[in-house]
């Protein structure tokens, strides 16, 4: 079932992901299935300025288990950007386990057609900054340009060319992953809490809702009627538009846990009742209050990730707090 929330709601581009069991190898992060640890509960609260996630895990085996846990962020193109702020790492990222802060480490990955090409880029001499931030960011982040030899080498590998922009540019996508070691005692509940400020992708180019975008976010007739009415106030001779933001969240990694997500709650939170929200998602949302919609699912095994459209925003622009970082 596809569901759209359309009352009086709107959106930037943000990102996040479910925790997953993983192995960190030379080639990058490899998710793997666990038959011992169950995700008993997940409460995901999504807004375009803040995302929080609360989990309850139980190790159902008879012995303690220690696993590498990864929290992957959605990838973004190293060259073509949906916005000039959708890159780098999100601000305010924190993890607590049973109420105590956890120190994570960051693993950077470069992907090309879904294949990890980080090792190839490093072999060509690229630094993490050169992998993560292309030439389009040179006015904000000082990154040494690629040499002619590096460009030629990457072009031979199919990792550099003009396929995306019409100009020679990187052809890989960039993904940041937060990783830590976690002990799961036998038959005990482990509570994990995440909070962070999503990456923001916004601007006039993002404020137009065409047929493909409407389909992607399952915009129904009621939503489109509200959108068109509000967009008429913002429109000009070039067409109608509405200040908006898009939030992406990786859900499918929840399937790496035993039985998927046994008890899943999704809260969608607007900053203002006048904003618009639409997404494709199973289940029936209920209105909790003027700014919150909620759906709850049992034994949830996600078949797709989450994309949420927020529109009619007062503060769609990015702030200094949204600017990118490259942490170690």
Domain boundaries, the chain: 20-117+172-318
Q: DSSP letter for 225, please.
A: H
Per-residue model confidence as pLDDT tens digits over 276-286: 999 999 989 99
What phi-psi label fits residue 277: left (phi over 0), alpha (psi between -120 and 50 degrees) or beta? beta
Q: What is the pLDDT of residue 9?
A: 28
Please report, for the chain, how many H helices and E strands are present, in that order.
5, 20
Q: What is the pLDDT of residue 233?
A: 84
| 272 vs 169: which has the higher pLDDT | 272
Q: What is the pLDDT of residue 109?
A: 93
Q: Is the CB of residue 184 less than 8 Å from the CB of residue 97?
A: no
| 178 vs 315: which has the higher pLDDT | 178
Query: What is the rounded average pLDDT of the residues 74-84?
Result: 67
Q: Is the CB of residue 95 less than 8 Å from the CB of residue 101?
A: yes
Please, is 178 exposed, middle or buried when counting C-beta atoms within 10 Å of its C-beta (0-12, 13-18, 19+)? buried
Q: Within 10 Å of residue 220's Cβ, how many Cβ atoms?
A: 15
Three-state SS at 253 = helix
| Highest mean pLDDT out of 16-30, 54-68, 160-174 | 54-68
Closest C-alpha among 1, 21, 10, 15 to residue 256: 21
H-state helical runs in 21-147:
118-123, 128-132
CATH of domain 20-117+172-318: 2.60.40.3680
Q: What is the pLDDT of residue 223?
A: 95
Q: What does the block give as tokens for 237?
A: 């001779």
Q: Is the CB of residue 110 less than 8 Å from the CB of residue 174?
A: yes
Indicate the range of 101-105, 117-121, 232-236 predicted with least confidence.
232-236
Per-residue model confidence as pLDDT tens digits over 1-19: 333 333 222 223 345 778 8
Measured in degrees and rounded to the nearest 5, phi and psi for residue 25 equal -115, 180
User: Which residues does 131 contact at the CB level (< 8 Å), separation at least 6?
Assistant: 78, 108, 110, 118, 121, 122, 172, 174
Per-residue model confidence as pLDDT tens digits over 193-250: 999 887 655 555 568 888 998 999 999 999 999 999 999 887 665 567 888 888 888 8
Specify the pTM: 0.81
Q: Is the pLDDT of residue 327 over 60?
A: no
Q: Is the pLDDT of residue 88 over 50?
A: yes
């Amino acid at each position: 079932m596809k569901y759209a929330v359309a009352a009086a709601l709107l959106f930037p581009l943000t990102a996040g992901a479910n925790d997953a069991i993983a192995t960190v190898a030379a080639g990058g992060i490899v998710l793997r299935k666990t038959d011992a640890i169950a995700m008993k509960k997940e409460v995901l609260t999504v807004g375009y300025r803040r995302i929080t996630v609360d989990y309850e895990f139980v190790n159902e085996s008879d012995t303690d288990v220690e696993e590498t846990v990864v929290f992957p962020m959605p990838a973004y193109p190293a060259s073509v950007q949906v916005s000039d702020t959708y890159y780098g790492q999100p601000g305010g990222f924190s993890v607590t386990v049973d109420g105590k802060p956890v120190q994570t480490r960051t693993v950077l990955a470069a992907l090309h057609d879904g294949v990890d090409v980080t090792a190839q880029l490093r072999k060509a001499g690229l630094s993490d900054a050169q992998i993560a931030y292309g030439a389009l960011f040179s006015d904000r982040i000082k990154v040494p340009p690629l040499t002619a030899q590096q460009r030629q080498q990457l072009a031979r590998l199919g990792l550099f060319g003009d396929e995306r922009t019409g100009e020679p540019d990187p052809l890989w996508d960039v993904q940041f992953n937060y990783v830590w070691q976690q002990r799961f005692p036998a038959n005990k509940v482990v509570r994990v809490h995440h909070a962070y400020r999503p990456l923001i992708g916004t601007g006039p180019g993002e404020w137009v809702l065409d047929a493909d975008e409407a389909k992607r976010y399952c915009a129904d007739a009621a939503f489109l009627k509200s959108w068109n009415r509000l967009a008429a106030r913002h429109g000009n001779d070039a067409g109608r538009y509405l200040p908006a933001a898009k939030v992406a969240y990786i859900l499918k990694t929840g399937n790496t846990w035993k039985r998927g997500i046994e008890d899943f709650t999704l809260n969608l939170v607007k900053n203002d009742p006048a904003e618009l929200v639409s997404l494709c998602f199973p289940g029936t949302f209920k209105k909790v209050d003027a700014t919150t919609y909620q759906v709850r699912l049992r034994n949830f095994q996600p078949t797709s990730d989450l994309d949420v459209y927020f529109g009619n925003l007062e503060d769609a622009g990015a702030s200094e707090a949204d600017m990118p970082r490259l942490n170690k």
